[in-house]
Amino acid sequence: MESSANGGDSHVWFKKCIRIGPRRVMPLCFAAVKYPNFKEKLEKNPIPLRTMLNEHIQPTKFFVSTGVTPINPTESEKKLLEIIKDEPLSIHDILNKMKRFPSTTVLDSLIQQRLIHAIGFTPTDALHVLGEYTEWDVETAKIGAKKLSRFTHMGVHAFCKK
């Protein structure tokens, strides 16, 4: 059985409108504490074209290995796992290493098997931007909100409140 709830770790992403979930991701503000160079990577991550946006192609989405050893991975999964290691990588980083976009199906499979973990903008990040909850890195949350809010034609605060 699989259940879904929209909470603090729900992925906030954009494709024609703001979407929340159904998947969970590690908040940007927490990733900045866990991975020392993450804030700079987020800042430098290019903004994808609006037409390319999907759940995985987002200016704030990254992937990192969980360290779990795969059991009988497919060739495609092995290739992607050779690239996604201990430091967060964006789709842009993966594209540069593989010379092509990774398969959404393979990414989904690796996430479902808990072999990689996704990092992205969450309601927890929005709370950091709004100053309502500031346990981790507020500046990183603001960078993420600025990158996503540009697709909404809203200011950063309005985006986070929505």
Dihedral of CA 126/131/137/139: which sign? positive
| Average pLDDT, rounded, for the chain | 90
Question: Which among 8, 35, 12, 4 has a CA at the least distance from the CA of 120?
Answer: 12
Please report whether residue 36 resides in a domain: yes
For the chain, the C-alpha Rg in angstroms (whole number) is 15
- Per-residue pLDDT tens digits for 97-148: 988 888 889 999 999 999 999 999 999 999 999 999 889 999 999 999 999 9
Residue 45 in any domain: the answer is yes
Provide the pLDDT for residue 1.
43
Helix (H, G, I), strand (E, B) or coil at 91: helix
Q: How many CB atoms are located within 10 Å of the residue 71 CB?
A: 7
Gap between the Cα atoms of 136 and 138, Å rounded: 6
Q: 47 lies in a domain?
A: yes
Q: For residue 22, what pLDDT is reported?
A: 86
Let me know if residue 1 belongs to a domain.
no
Q: Is residue 62 part of a domain?
A: yes
Decide if 2 is inside a domain. no
Instruction: State how far the Cα of 56 lies from the Cα of 92, in Å rounded to an integer.
Output: 11
Q: Using an 8 Å Cβ cutoff, are 90 and 64 in contact?
A: no
Residue 3 has pLDDT above 80, yes or no: no
Q: Given pLDDT bands bounded at 50, 70 and 90, which one contains residue 6?
A: low
pTM of the model: 0.90
Q: How many domains does the chain have?
A: 1
Q: What is the mean pLDDT of residues 3-32?
A: 84
Q: Which residues form the domain of 110?
A: 10-161
